[in-house]
Amino acid sequence: MPRRALLSVYDKSGIVDLARTLVQSGCELLSTGGTAALLRSEGLAVRDVSDLTQYPELFGGRVKTLHPAVHGGLLARRDQPGDLADAETHGIGLIDLVIVTLYPFEEVSKRPGVTLEDLVENVDIGGPSMLRSAAKNHSHVAVVSDTGDYGALAQALEEGGTTLEYRRQLAVK
């Protein structure tokens, strides 16, 4: 059962209901900017990623999650005493679930009159980095990048948590 989930979504459809399921299963929610604001507006307790990293969002939100407190929490192998010792030594809390939907770069690129500035601002850096970190450690971390997977994830949580096989399926997406 995940104890800590990081939610950072561009496509916010369905995220509030899923977040409620996470909270009901005892999960702490971590989030960034707009996602955190939405969840709070719906009455959910959310911890800002900047509180976790002890670093503010930088450069107009371009740098939020590119930090060892985030990626260490995703990449620490729970079955490796050395990884757990490193996490404890450096105050890195483990993150068990990542839910990320990426900026719509391809969609934006097809818009008539799109500018280079529009394209540049829709290049997602932190999202893919978190997805890859979580996928690399799918033995211990579930990674969700598709809103279509929210229902199955909620069901898995209601049944006690994700299995290794399910986490593998999510990781290859």
Residue 109 has pLDDT above 70, yes or no: yes
Q: Which domain holds residue 25?
A: 4-171
* CATH code, domain carrying 38: 3.40.50.1380
Q: Could you tell me the CA-to-CA distances from 119 to 26, 104, 106, 107, 149 in Å, in that order?
A: 39, 10, 9, 10, 27
36-65 mean pLDDT: 92
Q: Where are the alpha helices (DSSP H) in the chain?
A: 15-24, 33-41, 49-53, 68-75, 81-89, 105-109, 116-121, 126-136, 150-158, 164-171
Would you say 9 and 99 are in contact if contact means Cβ atoms under 8 Å apart? Answer: yes
Q: How far is CA 122 from CA 70, 81, 105, 152, in A?
A: 22, 39, 5, 29
Q: What is the pLDDT of residues 140-167, one digit of tens each?
A: 999 999 999 999 999 999 898 999 999 9
How many separate domains does the chain show? 1
- In this predicted model, what pLDDT tens digit does every residue of 61-89 receive, in sequence order? 788 899 999 999 999 999 999 999 999 99
